[in-house]
Structure 1
């Protein structure tokens, strides 16, 4: 697989990483054997960049990843996150004490003494971002982390944090049906030499050959409360994506591979992290890094799925608390 730099001066990683959120059960039940199979398939495909968080399955994802790395002996580039507090009431904590305590817990689950990238998962508005950047800078100096990142933030937050200590990566949702980062975030990253790591680059399964069926989603599936997966929005979104799906098929590629190729084509600093619980789903988008889009491809994709085509918000009211709003 092709390689890309994880931020200016950062390590080289696979152009496509693996998001490990689903190993924690947020999209439905999973099991250890299937999760390990998906991780093995990712490594065999050349994926060296793995993204997890302390809250994914209350530590399950980190533990699964740590056990797999220790058992297989792979030297992967690992990113994890801190900042969301899930115990009621749900909130955010960017204090130095909390960041440090959660990092130590994450390192134990990952079975290591260092992670390449440590994100602030959500910003706590009550604490100035300069203070948070200072905390992360000290962790870099102590050798606990290789660099730090920010998630679901606005352009001004990126620039303020970067002025204190260079930000290595920014992770916001970005795909053909979520284009908000184009209103300043992707430009800030390009200007400052920061890697941009799109999460949910496949629209939480919508940008695939076999679209999800909301009626079959389990009780724990986070998509059940997302407006884009609810009537009447869902039917409108399916109708729009059907045209893109047909275009991918006519080109001889999967819908997921073409959707990922579009993200990769947006800039050399893009390192998308699609997620999956199974090896079979992962294989649907392998090879996306080798797809080359022509000007006519770009024009047709823009015609089929123009910015803002998606019906409904990406989050419900409760989930929308946390991501910074700037446009």
Structure 2
């Protein structure tokens, strides 16, 4: 397993990580035992980076990780570099709001530490930006948690390059997390470059395109069962069928190159820079093995040209988010 840096002065981590949203029923029902099987496989494969959040299953993901660490002992705790997040909340009427106040960050991090069963996390993110609050104040609030010994480093999620630069002027930003894959390439419009310039790791979530870049895409029949996907433009008809047809050529290319499609998608992502850290999620140990294989593949420039001829920039049908899902992430161009 390749080793990369979680920020210029951050921890050494495996080039492939685990996105633990899948531990909380996001893409379908799961069990804690199933999540433990993924974490056991990660330890065996040398995958050390695990990414979670206080809102994944309203604490369920963190609790599953914490119970796993408790059951496996100090070896497991020493193995994993743990990242979590806060900043998404609800108002009195139950509507989703964003809270980047120092009080919210610390209170939620304290709860996360208790669920995880640790005294300090390796990385703590602002999950969504509360736009009316200056990002400099947000960076100061996060930095205060480093000084208190509750996190070793700080990160930002779904932000613009200009916001990153302003925050980094206050305190080093170890990582920025955003969606990035062959299906979603907007970060190439300055965010990847800003991260590289500032020594910030780029943590890519959904690197296999929410299953479109695999050999087993989520079938149309299951989409209505999944709260996020049933309103997502790429999974609504006719876009869903168009996206399946477009990615059939990618699956054929992966087979020609002798690997699963998910492996090729991960290899492509890692090829995009030494600061790139994909964090796919899965409920399947077989799929996890495909993801690990992708981290072992080294693509040539010729390979990348072939991949991007099959899936050029802008190939996907439908926006990556619905109007409601776009509330929170910063857009930039």
The normalised TM-score by structure 1 is 0.98
The separation in 2 between residues aligned to 1:235 and 1:304, in whole angstroms, is 17
Aligned residues: 327
The separation in 2 between residues aligned to 1:192 and 1:317, in whole angstroms, is 31
Q: Is the 8 A contact 1:214 1:224 kept in 2?
A: no
Residue among 306, 322, 327 paired with 2:328: 322
The normalised TM-score by structure 2 is 0.96
The separation in 2 between residues aligned to 1:218 and 1:278, in whole angstroms, is 21
Residue among 146, 163, 166 paired with 2:152: 146
Residue deviations 1:45-84, cap 9 Å, x none?
1111100000000000000011111211212100000001
Q: Is the 8 A contact 1:241 1:305 kept in 2?
A: yes
Measure how far apart 1:221 and its partner are: 4.1
SS at match of 1:164: coil
The separation in 2 between residues aligned to 1:47 and 1:268, in whole angstroms, is 16
Equivalence for 1:5: 5
SS at match of 1:214: coil
The separation in 2 between residues aligned to 1:5 and 1:129, in whole angstroms, is 24
Equivalence for 1:308: 314
Q: Where do 5+ consecutive residues of structure 2 fail to align?
A: none
Measure how far apart 1:43 and its partner are: 1.6
Q: Is the 8 A contact 1:28 1:217 kept in 2?
A: no
The separation in 2 between residues aligned to 1:218 and 1:48, in whole angstroms, is 34
Residue among 253, 278, 285 paired with 1:247: 253
- Please provide the CA RMSD for this pair: 1.1
Equivalence for 1:82: 86
Residue among 117, 122, 135 paired with 1:116: 122
The separation in 1 between residues aligned to 2:194 and 2:126, in whole angstroms, is 17
Q: Is the 8 A contact 2:16 2:292 kept in 1?
A: no
Call closer, same or farther: CA 1:16–1:86 in 2, change over 3 Å.
farther
Equivalence for 2:289: 283
SS at match of 2:230: helix
Q: Where do 5+ consecutive residues of structure 1 fail to align?
A: none
Residue deviations 1:17-63, cap 9 Å, x none?
00000111111111121111111112211111100000000000000
The separation in 2 between residues aligned to 1:105 and 1:50, in whole angstroms, is 18
The separation in 2 between residues aligned to 1:188 and 1:275, in whole angstroms, is 26
